[in-house]
Amino acid sequence: MKTSIGIQTKKPEKACADKKCPYHSNLSVRGMMFTGTVVSAKRHNTVTVEWARRAQLPKFERYEKRKTKISVHNPECIAAKEGDMVRIMNCKPLSKTKNFVVIENLGHVFGYQDRMEALAASKVKERSKKEEQEKSAQPVKDEKDQEKEEQ
Ligand SMILES: [Zn+2]
């Protein structure tokens, strides 16, 4: 195990045999470092990390919120789960879509599960509203058609 990866982080307690681990293999990290939330951990040794950023709109002299969402390698010794806050850092390309690696797990985001459930519920509501509108719109069309037919 390396004594350090070059930046101050909490080292993972477990050891691992991951060839793409910044702590237990010779993978070096360099470049940009970000902190984000794990929104998916379904893939093998890969997590999807998302974080919000600000983008300037010069015309309106204001900012808008945008999100960055990327695939990140999740070493076996760190094993971040969905809803975890993680620190990630740039490294050499590990696959077609991965050139970042998780270097530290900062713990679970408070209320992540509740937020995701609320989001899913609001989507269901929107869908049912649309269906209701479609249902209420259809009979009106039918009546008009019938009137046309009668004429
Ligand atoms: Zn490791």
Q: Distance between CA atoms of 7 and 143, rounded to whole angstroms?
A: 71
- pLDDT value of position 135: 79
- pLDDT value of position 12: 87
Per residue in 93-149, pLDDT (tens digit) is 999 999 999 999 999 999 999 988 998 998 888 888 888 888 777 666 566 666 666
- pLDDT value of position 141: 59
- pLDDT value of position 127: 80
Dist. CA 137 → ligand 1 center (Å): 58
Going 28 to 34 to 35 to 38, the CA torsion angle's sign is negative
Dist. CA 65 → ligand 1 center (Å): 34
- pLDDT value of position 134: 81
- pLDDT value of position 148: 64
Q: Distance between CA atoms of 35 and 86, rounded to whole angstroms?
A: 6
Q: Which CA distances in Å does 38 have to 29, 30, 48, 65, 70?
A: 20, 21, 6, 19, 10
Per residue in 30-87, pLDDT (tens digit) is 999 999 999 999 999 999 999 999 999 999 999 999 999 999 999 999 999 999 999 9
Dist. CA 111 → ligand 1 center (Å): 28
What type of residue sits at position 89? Answer: M
